[in-house]
Structure 1
Amino acid sequence: MHLDILYQDDHLVVINKPSGLLVHRTQLASQETDAVVQRLNNQLGKWVYPVHRLDRGTSGALVLTFCAETARHLSEQFSQAKVDKSYLCIVRGHPEDSGIIDYPLAKLNENKGQSRFKIEGTEKEAITNFSCLNRFTLNHPVSKYSTTRCALLEVKTEQGRKHQIRRHFKHIRFPLIGDTRYGCRHHNKLFRGLGRAQRLMLHAKSLSFIHPVSLNSISCEAPLPVSFSDFIQYLADESIS
């Protein structure tokens, strides 16, 4: 299946990555045969170099380049927090209208079978800003609660630590819906049983950066996939408050 291209020139391409697709094969997923890099190699007929990553379950704007040097220059913008990134996510509960999560994150152990464990002493600064766009209350009991509460948030990260958004919202007890690693199993089970939220509810909405060759400002907006927009509509239709 071809990937949706949001922007392309002689030096780089920005795609709208679907949920469920790896950016590239990893040590923990060495047997995977399908990934963004492989699909784009075939789709465009030339090799591509990923500049940053999105988790497998995350959809949205992803940048790749056509040469390693361009990828290196652009990745420096990401590491220096010069790229403006905006995400949408759906979380359990009703957070405040806006907030800042300032909580250092450690590296995660990449050894097979140990990837859930952090490496002590490797904590680095991680700051996540969010604003609440909408709140939903569903007439479905879950765990010890008589109703199910969710919220749609817009999120911006000042860094790009691994699983930063997912780990930060778990830390403040508003985990992402559909997150099988950091999320709430009761809410995930409820929505799966209802035939909803079959994916991680996290979408990389937009990216803005300086083109590493032309030095022009590039801004890309990634449309919501149906799996995400349909879930928002479901929550809006079912909400009792």
Structure 2
Amino acid sequence: MNQTSNTIACEHREDVLKKQVEHQPLHLPVLYQDEHIIAIDKPPGLLVHRSPIDKHETVFAVQTLRDQIGQHVFPAHRLDRPTSGVLVFSFSADTAAKLGKQMMDKQVVKQYHAIVRGFVHHTGYIDYALKYRYDKIADKHKRPQQPPQPASTMYESLAKFDVPEPVGRYQSARYSLVRLSPSTGRKHQLRRHMVHIRHPIIGDTTHGDGKQNKFAKSHFNFTHLALSCTQMGFSHPVTQKWITINGEMHSEMRQFTDRLASFKV
């Protein structure tokens, strides 16, 4: 076999392997499970359930988890499609409703990690009402005129990084790893609150900094939203015991922070 034939054969094998990987069923890591609830680590880019926003999508957390464990599940809350991390389901609609009420009553403690633009030097509190952002498809049945909704977020700076490369009007690419604790759950709250204090989350294509996103992609191969729900605590809706479920930043975020480590200041 000549070199050209070898090359073609190798490319064919790579295409076959790629298709095999693409068609492999998605496995969702289980963080906690008992007879009433189950929590998974949702990867970025996965929709929780079917949505009119993307009618062509065929993979959803609800159906994937149901097929994985062989049992129907009911989402107790939501995570935006690009956000990863702790996602809780129940095995009955009643239990899901009880968890949902806890969230409405601000009795659930949530913690996120994010990588943002610029140096965040301290711990702070954002109290900034957010006007509801309507989606023409998903929100077509909602009342269009609503007053801004109260929204609050605690933030804490964990690490700062300075990459000596110019980005846009900045002489270097500065980043901060922050911990975010929202006490309300408004649409895109964390992303919009961080933009409000001029520290947009890296990878946010809706509210963020396009030049910073492009730099993170080209220099660090970072292509997702740098936002992960890493902890959730709540009163178990059946046993009434306090449950704390821990997760991690998604793998691409961990790789990003690992590569930033040498630029820590």
State the TM-score, normalized to the length of structure 1.
0.94
1:182 has 2:212 as partner: no
Residue 164 in structure 1 maps to residue 189 in structure 2: yes
Partner of 2:252: 227
Task: Report the Cα distance in structure 2 between the residues aligned to 1:51 and 1:197, rounded to whole angstroms.
Answer: 30
Once the two structures are superposed, the pairs formed by residues 74-93 of structure 1 within 5 Å of their partners are: 74-93=99-118
Counterpart selection for 1:153 from 168, 178, 186: 178
Structure-1 separation of matches of 2:264 and 2:108 = 38
Matched, 1:18 2:43: yes
Structure 2, unaligned stretches of length 5 or more?
A: 1-25
TM (norm. structure 2) is 0.86
Match of 2:23 in 1: none
Query: What is the one-letter code of the residue matched to 1:222?
Result: G
Aligned partner of 1:55 in structure 2 is 80
Aligned-residue Cα RMSD (Å) equals 1.7
Aligned to 2:147: 122
Tell me which amino acid in the other structure corresponds to 1:190. Answer: F
In the alignment, residue 252 of structure 2 is paired with which amino acid? S
- Percent identity, aligned pairs only, is 38
Q: Is the 8 A contact 2:157 2:177 kept in 1?
A: yes
What is residue 40 of structure 1 aligned with on the other side?
65
Partner of 2:217: 192
Structure 1: runs of 5+ lacking an equivalent: none
Shift of 1:224: 2.7
Q: Deviations over 1:149-176 (max 9, x none)?
A: 1100001001011110001111111100
The aligned amino acid for 1:147 is: S
Structure index of larger Rg: 2
Q: Which amino acid aligns with 1:138?
A: V
- Displacement after TM superposition at 1:197 (Å): 1.8
Residue 63 of structure 1, CA deviation: 0.4
Encode CA deviations 1:200-233: one digit per residue, 9 max, x unaligned: 0001010111111111111110023321111001
**Runs of 4+ in structure 1 displaced over 4 angstroms?**
none
Structure with the higher helix share, 1 or 2? 2
Question: Partners in 1 of 2:100 and 2:147 — Cα distance?
Answer: 21
Aligned to 2:15: none
Distance 2:38 2:264 in 1: 43
CA contact (8 A) 2:119 2:175 kept: yes
- Give 1:94's aligned residue: 119
- Distance change >3 Å, CA 134–CA 32, structure 1 → 2: same
Q: Secondary structure at the match of 1:194?
A: helix
Offset, 1:31: 2.2
- Give 3-state SS (helix, strand or coil) of 1:28's partner: coil
**Corresponding position of 1:64:** 89
- Which stretch of the first structure deviates more once superposed, 170-179 or 24-33? 24-33
**CA positional deviation for 1:121:** 3.3
